[in-house]
Structures are given as structure tokens and as C-alpha cells.
Structure 1
Amino acid sequence: MITKEQTNVEAQAIQAKKASKTLSILTTEEKNKALHAIADQIEANWEEILKANELDLIKGREAGYEEAFMDRLSLTKERVSEFANGLREVASLDDPTGIVQSDWTLDNGLQVQKVTVPLGVIGMIYEARPNVTVDATGLALKSGNSIVLKGGSSAIESNKKIVEVMKEGLLNTRIPKDAIQFIASTDRKATNALFTMKEHIDVLIPRGGGSLIQAVVNNATVPVLETGVGNCHIYIDESAEVDQAISILMNAKTDRPAVCNAVETVIVHETWLNAHKEALIQALQENGISVHGDKLAVEAIPGATEAKEADWAEEYLSKHIAVKVVADVIEAIEHIEVYGTKHSEAIISEDLQNVDLFMKLVDAAALYHNASTRFTDGGALGFGAEIGISTQKLHARGPMGLPALTTIKFQMKGTGQVR
């Protein structure tokens, strides 16, 4: 039986598909003008956006959401301004479409070009971050794609108002307002409907917790660009310089604990720990970090609790960290192989042989030597805004900026050739 939710979602997907045809032939200048118009409209309506956000915050407080969750949900005038500036930054980036990646001429004179083109219609399924509504829309429109947004119920009022404002911003531009679709229903059937509209939606991108991502991956018939949960590790090798190691670790854990590129497990060489545990203990205590450790870690670190099996796989998104003590780099790599999510992993070491082993054997989208995992971010790596961080290996991997939202066409020009 076809439900009302399915019918409504399909109607929106069809509108988005139609709008994508118009988008695909617009010039870079026309798309940039539209992004600036949306940015101006967002800044002009910040008070209305904050009023809508307060309704979500009230519901969140009543539901007892955790502090980290509420932080992701909460908007301020400054955060709204960051949304707008993010759109302007996307407008300043190179257009990823219409690029001739390669061209050649066959022996028979047929000219061949491999050219980048938009994907078409992107379905975006995400949780409590209203900024994703703006970031994803900006990236989609700049790359010539329409977008169908399905945000979580916890941010429903914020997202409805943001989309309303963005559509208003498009009214005097060449981009049709139907290029942005928002599924306002909180019924799970509406989300499930989006999973199966292969004839209208070209790709689904889930962004959020592990349960959301797996629900999309396991149930969708539409192709999925899988973004990853961030159970990120830092391995402190025997040769690691102590001040550098602690500085990197504290940045990766405390700069923004609730984001996916924050470190969740530190793996420490036992010799390094024995030599420098006082400095590590002081840093952990000064930053209010709770430790869940193996036997050696519990013995070395006051206040540490014994880690359960679930702690090694946990994405804490808070000031909790798991600590594993190992005998060598191979044991560290083996631990990451079992519990890592292929997101971001780091080694702090002055032993280049160990660094080389780590870089070659660890399977992850982003690997770091003597640097924080917090750099796994589109903006930090110079891509501009990102639509998510892919942990899969096909089509796109790592922070997905504008190029990840394109595909290719082979275009041939002939003079009557037949085969």
C-alpha cells in the first residue's frame, strides 16, 4: 500500500529532478550569484531562524538530550553568519563541472572527451546539525545538483525555517526554488520512501550516527555515498616527543569533542608510558578527561576505570577516552584494524620505519604523522565546505567537497564514423 508520506516524497523528488535539468545548464556565474543571494537572505533573517531554533531547543531540553547533542543543535547569530559565509566561500571555489579530464582522438578520427557533470539529484539524510542543511545545499547547487533534504526530527523547526529562507533567496536568480526540497514529515515512512526512489534520486548521502548510516546502507536501493562514524585513534610510539604528543592528543580530544574527527582512543607504547606518564596524567586531569583503560593503563593512570569491550568501539563524542597500552607499532595497527571505522588515524613518532609501516598497513580515509586528527575536514584541507566524510573506497573517500558531487560523461565528436 502506497502511503501519503511516500506520495509526498515522490512528488518532491520529481520536482527536484525537473529542477536539476535547469541547474545542469547554468553558468558558473549564475550559480555563484544564487549562492550569494541565499547567503544574504540567511543573514537578513537570522532572528527568525533563531526563533525557530529555540522551539527545537525547548523540545531538546524537555527530552533530556545530552550536552554534546544540544551543542550541535544550538544556533547563535554568529553561527548563522558562519552559514552565510560558508556559502560565499563555496561560491568562490572552482566550478567542478564541465572540466575536460582527458581527451584523445582515435585512429578513425573520432574525438573523445571525458567531462565532469553533476550527479543530478542528491538525497541528504542527516541528524541534529542545522548547518548541514546550508552546507549540503550550497555544495549541491554549486556542483549543479538539486537536493532533497531529510533532517532529523530534533531540528525540524530550525531546518524548515532555514529552507524557507533559502528558497526565498532563490526567487530572483536562475536557479529554480524546486532545486531545494525539504521533507518536513517526521514519519519514518517518509525517510524509508527516500531510500527506494532510484528513478528520481541519483545518490543518497547519510550523515550522522552509526545507526542512521547503517539504516541507509542496509535498506536503500538508491546508490549510497557512505559517510563514517569516527572512532579515531592516535598511536603514541616509543620515540614520540613528549610535548608534541600531548599537545596533539589534547587538541584531538578537547578542541571539539562532539565531532567525528575527534580522537576516541589513544594507543600508547608501554615504554613511552612508563617514561612520561606524569605528563600524560597531568594533561588528562587538567582537561577533565575520563579514562577507560586496559589493565596497564588502569595501573598507570589514577582514576581510570577498566575498559569494557564496548569501550574500544565507542564513539564517545565527549571528554571520555579509551587508553590501550601496546608493546610495538604492529600491536597498535592490529588494534586499529579491529576497532577502527576507517575514518582518521594518527601516529606520533620519530621512527620513520614505524611511520612507514603505519601509513602502509592502516586502512583509513585519512592518516596523520605528528598531527591532530582534527584536520579531517573539508575546510581545513582547503576543499571549502564538505558534505560529509566518506569512509568507503568507491567514487569518493575522505572529506567530500565539490568534486565528489560530480560524475563523468564521455562525449564523442565524429565526422560520420561507423563501426
Structure 2
Amino acid sequence: MSTLTDAEVRRIREDFPLLTAAVTGNGPLVYLDSGATSQKPLAVLDAEREFYLHRNAAVHRGAHSLAVAATDAYEEARRTVAGFVGGTERELVWTSNATEALNLVTYAFSNASAGRGGEQAARFRLGPGDEIVTTEAEHHANLIPWQELAARTGATLRWIPVDDAGALDLAAAQQVVGERTRVLAFTHVSNVTGAITDVPALAALAREVGALTVLDACQSVPHLPVDLPALGVDLAVFSGHKMLGPTGIGALWGRSELLDAMPPFLTGGSMITKVTMESARYLPAPTRFEAGTQRVAQAVALAEAVRYLQGVGMDRVAAHERELGQRLAAGLAELEGVRLIGPPPGTERVGLAAVDVEGVHAHDVGQVLDVAGVAVRVGHHCAQPLHRALGLTASTRASAYLYNTTDDVDRFLAELAGVRSYFRVAG
């Protein structure tokens, strides 16, 4: 599949109002912080506004025609987004973000461990002697909820270490994942190194011991063609705002037989079949996990973001970002006093790279780049254990998307090359 040309990317940029309007003292803004949040095309902004203008009503609750139109739009959005990751509408639960989705999973497991959900929820029960395995490369959102679940249930939390380059040690994984492992939670793409995990290998390892797999797909679904069932995982989460969609919307994908067996997390209206003063019965998934008023307009807008990405072609998006990622890695590897974190040039990665600049704190690096009109991310990127394993407290991260050109990458590299001399630490 061919990559996007710079001419095509410049045409794509015209669909993004913020990118066309933002001009710095050094020319157009170079936005290289899409790993944190992406910009939004006009089609997505219009979709959310159109819903409020013409179809705004409570879903699943009214018999009037406006409520029917709102419900149809809401459920069509579910089908569209579910299909984008290889699933069906019964397999996709709307959440506020990926963090909520992971907390939904861990609290559902916690409720099962407390005896809720009956025998069908037995496979989610954890207790002393059971092990939850995650990795040293995780975003805090895929670590802290598992820490809390271990504390609530008495299970033991273990983790797969990373090597000196920040890559998962798959040989060590075979020692960590064992007969006591009940859950294996890991990221598809590192938000620090840009490295792509061998998901089928880890899923197979979990399957051998009867463990459930939970995938953090926040940095993969926006950038790669992703078929979650084909990857062999059981549950996965991703966010809307990182894939051209609005904030306040994310999703949990899960195999339908698992979602139907999981006890709910949030409870209240709209997710029940019968309520008495003593008890309640819950609807099947995904509705059993969607209590209260839902993010209807945001779901509709996220579906429009998916259609936008499909219109470009995810194979082409991935090929374009692969090219940008390699250009980033190769350029960074040539800069004196700059340490590239993660895979070396030539190794597969998405369009993301983080660095440590010798003698200059990441926040100072980011400030110099900002003055030059280049927006990047600085800090520990919600991955303190990974930074600690690499001997760092913070790093500077550039993350590209379909609207970035090779000129954007080159401008970032040129500005970064002058940071050490600016602070008079170049030797």
C-alpha cells in the first residue's frame, strides 16, 4: 500500500481548522503531540453540531420520532466504531475514555470476586494465590487499576520487564506468565517508545494458562489497521480523542460472551430489565455497562472520525506514519547529545519517538521548541515505571499523525539540534 504524499497531507490539513489557523512567529504550527490528543477535522465538528441541531433527544427512552432518530444515530455510531476494530455492535461498550474502560473491567472483576454475577462470573473472580500480570511499559491507566484490583482481592500483581531499549522482554514473559496468572494486561503500542507489541504472541501465552487478555489499544487504533478479534485478545480499550474524535468518548471492546457474563460497574437507569425495592436484573451487554445518560453526540462524532480515517485508508495512514517514524528515529540518532528512547532506526514503530537531551531537562526542551512553533509532549507521559527502568525522570516526545508532513519532522529535528547549544551544554 502506498504512503501519503506530502501534497495529499497538505490537502488533509485543510480539513483541520486549528492547524490551518494556528500560526506562530516561525510560521504554521508544527503539531507533534497527537499521541496525547489529535486535532479534529471539520467533518467531526460538524457531526456533533448537526446532532444537537437536528436529532438531540434521550436515547432508548422515548417513543417519539426525535428519540427514535437519536437512538438510531447512537446505535449506528456503535456499529461503525465496532466494525472499525473488527467487532460487532454487541461487543462495543461506550465509556468516557479508555481509563474509564479499564476501570470498568477491573471493578467488574472486583464485583465478581465479591460474589456478584453468579456462576457465569466465576471466571473473573480473583483472590489470594491468583496473579495479575501487566508490564513495565504500561501507561498508568493500565497499571494503577490493576494495582487497586490486587489490593481489593488479595491477588498478586506481577509484571513483564523491559530491556535496556524499553522493549518488552518476551523471554522473561514466559517466566512471569504461569499457571496462577488470571489476567494479562498490556499495551499494543508504547506511548513512550512507539514500539509495537507482538500481541498474538502474548495472547497465545495467556491462552495457554487460561488467562484473560486485556489490551490497551489507545496508541494503535488511531494509527494502524486493527482487528481485535484476529489479534486473539479478550478485551481491549481505546479513546476517541486520539483518533480525530471528540473528548469525553472512549470504548471497551470485548468478546460478547465475556461481556454478558461480567457484572456491571456503574448502576442506575437504562441498564436494567426489572427493579424491585430489594434487587435488580440487568440487561445483556453492552447496555448493562451504560447506566445513565450517554455520550450520544460524542459517539456520533466519533463515528464520523472513523469514516474520515476509512476515507483516507488505514493502510495508507499506517504507511505514512511508518515513514515519519523512521525519519524521526534516523534523524534523532544522528544528533549529538540526544538519546533516542526505544527501537533503533530501522525497527518497526509508529510515528512517535521520545528522546533525552543530555544536560537539558525535558521541560526546558519543550519550552524552546514551543517558542520555535513546534508543539511536543514533555514529562513522564504517565509512564513513570518505564522511565525509571530507563534511568530517566522525563523525556521529550514527538508524535505524528496523518496531517503531518516530512517537513514537520525536519523542522522538529532542526530545532531540537540547537537546544543544547542554546543552553550552552554542547561540548
TM range (shorter): under 0.3
Pick 1 or 2: higher relative contact order, CA cutoff 8 A, min separation 6: 2
Structure showing greater Rg = 1
Q: Normalising by the residue count of structure 2, what TM-score does the alignment of the two structures yield?
A: 0.27
